[in-house]
Amino acid sequence: MRVLVIGANGKTGRIVVNRLREGTHTPLAMVRDEAQVGRFADRGVDTVLGDLEEPLDPALEGCDAVIFAAGSGSSTGPDKTLAVDRDGAVRSIAAVEEAGIQRYIMLSAMRADPGSEGHPISHYLRAKGIADEHLIRSDLDWTIVRPGRLTDEPGTGRIRVSPKLETPGSVTRSDTAAVLVAALDHPNVSRRRFDLLEGETPIAAALDGL
């Protein structure tokens, strides 16, 4: 499949692109700035200019699936969070539906909830939660991956997944990217939402056990 990676220039998005490039699928990296093109061109990865605050139709041409790995970051203010994590995600879902693409993988966050209150990053969790609910109500073949705190340590290839994990924790960006890419083909995660933390189970087996 030709897979559009939204948020390709982010920390997790860059790893997703690399995983796709090393596997059986072809990545198309969506970037906001011409200055970011070279980073991908040097690795033989095609790019397309796109902005979540603008129409995405041109970026979706010729694509078979989408991985949404964009994020404003939990430390940004409410305005930017709403523009990217809520409105940008919702806009992308509508554009994917209009383009006739079915497979959509969403990078969300543990405890994402449209009604989140009293948490230091509730504005972020609400935005993510609203986008997740919008995707669930769509007709797309979706998967929502909700990792805990993301770290930059090397991946282990071993994780823990569940529709809901009660204990907070962390997971590497590398393993998160691997799960996002694995979800493209894994039949057990179609139209499913699950939490993700570091663990002891190999990724494929963990997804099998959901």
Catalytic residue IDs: 124
Using the Cα atoms of residue 120, residue 84, residue 137 and residue 197 in order, give the sign of their dihedral.
negative
Q: How far apart are CA 129 and CA 126, in angstroms?
A: 5
Apex CA 108: angle with CA 51 and CA 154, to 5°?
100
Outline where DSSP puts E strands in the chain. Answer: 2-6, 26-31, 46-49, 65-68, 103-107, 141-147, 149-151, 158-162, 170-172, 192-198, 201-202
Tokens found for residue 210: 């959901």
138 C-beta neighbours (distance < 10 Å), count: 16
Q: How far apart are CA 52 and CA 125, in angstroms?
A: 19
Amino acid at 66: V
List the one residue out of 65, 204, 27 whose CA is nearest residue 141.
65
